[in-house]
Chain A
Amino acid sequence: MSRGIPEPKLTAMDAMIDKLTGAIFVFQIVVVMVLGIAGNVWKDTEAKKQWYVLYPDKGPWYELLIIPLRFELLCSIMIPISIKVSLDLVKGLYAKFIDWDHRMVDLETSTPSNATNTAISEDLGQVEYILTDKTGTLTENKMIFRRCCISGIFYGNENGDALKDVELLHAVSSGSPDAVQFLTIMAICNTVIPTQSKTGDILYKAQSQDEDALVQAAAHLHMVFFNKSGNILEVKFNSSILQYEVLETLEFTSDRKRMSLVLRDCQNGKILLLSKGADEAILPYARTGQQTRNFIEAVEQYAHLGLRTLCLAWRELREDEYQEWSLMFKEANSTLVDREWRVAEVCQRIEHNLEVLGVTAIEDRLQDGVPETIETLRKAGINFWMLTGDKQNTAIQIALSCNFISPEPKGQLLSIDGKTEDEVRRSLERVLLTMRITTSEPKDVAFVIDGWALDFALNHYRKAFTELAILSRTAICCRVTPSQKAQLVQILKSCDYRTLAIGDGGNDVRMIQQADIGVGISGREGLQAARAADYSIGKFRFLKRLILVHGRYSYNRTAFLSQYSFYKSLLICFIQIFFSFISGVSGTSLFNSVSLMAYNVFYTSVPVLVSVLDKDLSEETVIQHPQILFYCQAGRLLNPSTFAGWFGRSLFHAVVVFLISIHAYAYDKSEMEEVSMVALSGCIWLQAFVVAMETNSFTILQHLAIWGNLAGFYAINWIFSALPASGMYTIMFRLCRQPSYWISIFLMTAAGMSPILAIKYFRYTYRPSKINTLQQAERLGGPIVSLGTIEPQPRPLIEKDVSTLSITQPKNRNPVYEPLLSDSPNATRRSSGTPFDFFQSQSRSSLPNYSRNCKDN
């Protein structure tokens, strides 16, 4: 599958941090310019009179630049370099938390979740659109043979499992010719390769899960396909071994929708044609005179149950008929031009006059917890698009059963289709109009579009389609090619939505790479998607935890960590700026270089790193109230206005620290090193309390880091104070003995924190955010009220305006059946006219070869 070159992904949060960094950079430049000019003015007016500074009368040419450069040096810490390191560290840990999560281990295959891309966990919390594949992602992609209809008799209708139907077992054991022939086709009309394991078990290697299911089912009914050597197939039926020689294989293509085998029965030398395929590809070619009404009914019934159906048929070939056809087939196979088309045409010549035997029905179960997951994530404000290679009816069926779309009257499904550009345009406009009208109504409106119409929509009506994409919370795109999947992701991304693409197969790789976040299901279709993805999970339901728990926590934690990093850098920087006003705007640093370095690298980075353990709400509360994700999606915790809050806080704290330091340590105490350490201590104390106040849950590690860091600050400074060679020799000992030092520090802490506490308390109590309310509810131990919308909604299946799905039988809710080949409007359209309508349209240059890439299962 074409992989393309994946671009490095940047989270929305990183982009925002970059933007804020840019803003701070501009601020820094302005500060440097203003102070530089002020410094030069002060130098020329005042400093010339300060004889003790001994400014030369005539300085070197670069003298004007010295003071601005000094300020640039002082202000260079305004942009915290440590933020990159801290962020990388915590992002690595977020990814590890995903890898480690026991609740996201697929117990069936014991595959843990894995975060391949460690840099984008925050984006998980900001997802707005999920584009999901269907087969293998929503469903298990584990096909099970459930029912069949053999010459008009339904098996498996009573107990839902034909393999346990006594009548079928009886029919088989009594050797009813139709049943036996049916089983033979099930067992050998395929491309399965049986292998014998050491223990004698027979393992099947099948390209298609459906074929695998059929062969397995046949084996259960004592028709064991056990060996294939060269062209000889060996089948064991009731202890007798039957041999067949394969003469030709007429392969399955998604356009022919059937496959056939021409083989010679080695028992009696007869040449047989065995076929299986979609109803519309088999039933029209039944032998004249055969009643196919029974089978059509069976197919309809199964399709409405959501089962994937296949029709089985056969006929005997005369020797001369086969020989004649065989030559044509060989010739067609060896042509160079239009080979596929020629082969299909030749196949067509032999696949007629068939004796239809019956219909098989295979179920592809929905994965556990898919409806719940979709419902929860939808409540979290995430919009779902289903992109599938399957056909429309199948997709709608599965969408209904997994809460993807709601049935009438709550939901409405609009269809965009049309054979020509004009029809598609009109259809698109109509849907768009309906969509605009219904946005005000509390109704789940979804649209469904197929690959054909999508191609027109993407190429010619991109604007209209984009508007539709914005209006619609749900969409089903069927029959789409991998590149169309990627294009759809592109459209949503271009509207500035955060997209998550989830899939399991090779055809999802491009979409996964294109999306902001790619999630791969490490499932039955191999690991191709999981390898290309940023995250790989074992089951679709883990997506809930991945987004709501890991994504949300990551977002919250990074929001705090990044803004805090700016806060602490700005704090120290503002103090330096203030100090420059009382040091003759000359660019003197109040703090010595060791303290400055340790401040950024050590004192302020350790406490904040443990914020990776912070949880504002417990996981249960978040899962119960997925709506809370809105705060992450809307970027409520990191945006210019919250950043302004942190900016203001650092300005306020700088004022507090600076004013108290210079007033408490005035006159005889105004020794440079002492004042510097008092101010630094004030900053350290304040930041410890800021981290403590912004922490929502304290584990032992947080306490250790926050208060241990404070103790560490004193320990480190005492060590430095004990070294005679250091500039701050004895300073910290002297300070710690002075009552005025401690009094000043407590004053700074109280003066700095009490307004913040007051504001926080006021907001928390009287203007609570939803997060606050949930926190209070959760922590006061009161009942967390389940919101009205959480109650499970009844899910009756009601007909839609597009395709009438009249459900005649009560529906089993969890195992979901998927009609593989029921008659949908598209199917009829495609098969109308000549059966090879597709090949003719292929000659039109505007058409992509999308159906060829469609998933064939």
Chain B
Amino acid sequence: MEVVQVLHMKNGDGETSYARNSTVQKKTISFAKPIIEKAVLEILGSTIMGIESMGIADLGCSSGPNTFLLVSHIMDVIHAKFSTVTELRVFLNDLFSNDFNSIFMSLPAFYDKLNKQDYNNGRDPEQHVINPLISAVPGSFYGPLFPRKSMHFVHSSFSLHWLSQVPDGLNNKGKIYMSKSSPQCVLDAYSMQFQKGFAVFLRSRAQEIVDGGRMVLSFMGRPSSDPTADQGTFYQYELLAQALMAMVSKGLIKEEKVDSFNLPHYAPCAEELNLVLQKEGSFIKEHLEAFEVDWDIGGADLDHNMPNGTFDDDQTITSNGQQMANSIRAVVESMLESHFGKEIMDDVFQKYAELVSRHLTNSTTTPKYTVWVISLVKKN
């Protein structure tokens, strides 16, 4: 599976689309907001840089309601304080099959909103209103994307847990990600792939970001070194593997198909991050923080009260379970479809919703993702 060409969030705004199922991603941007603001203010305030034309990039911008959040936040910061900036170049990056058309279709409304926005209240009176010059850059961030020294601020949210490829030669029977039963070589292969990729990412950005420029990155991680210690960080995929194996039992999918499928995903621990950062050496780590975010169960609390009374069979789907299943489907369907075929998707995700519902009902609290937010400064 050519990740770079296949992976994309689910298009449109249907029930299982990314646009309708991206609240976790939105929450993450909220957590990161103060860290982003601080970083941008530092850049603007730096007298050494005296920037006139500021370059910012959002890597893994996807499409949907979250896509313009970063630009909006940065525009707010820029207008709140006087600086030498007169021009803002904005680059939205994602892989080749991302739905850029729908981002572009919503640009006129976004520009309208910006024009109508009364910056006068929050605006430093000396600071002119700036209109952003927005462009889209398709391609993998595991490699060069921008000309040398053209960026002042790079952001990436909920994207760096996607690897550039599935680790080679995995022997991970019946599973699609790291699992308690995965052999050590699988865990090592995943870790190595992440470290290799993250190093390439850092090296590429180091060429593109000016000295003193900054990066704020948010992505899935885990609190412990042991990759299967924290359930919230991997169990969503354990259940998906179980759903696929249920299809195998029903004869709808060949077992070999599941054995040969593994997600190009990795949730690193702090030690791995620090190791790569240190080794690559182009960035100073200013801030590293972990946030916990609930699995996407639909905003309400975990519903232990079943609609019909008791949870009496394996086929009940709760609204929590359905929402969680939709949120995962929006993200992984492109890859599953490419490997297993379109026809089986509904069945797989129906089963997945059932398994998630059961898991959630048996959990006392909502499982939580761990999300890293890291703020870096490019060394001179």
**A joins B in a complex:** no
Chain B interface (Cβ < 8 Å from any Cβ of A): none
Using a CB–CB cutoff of 8 Å, the interface residues on chain A facing chain B are none
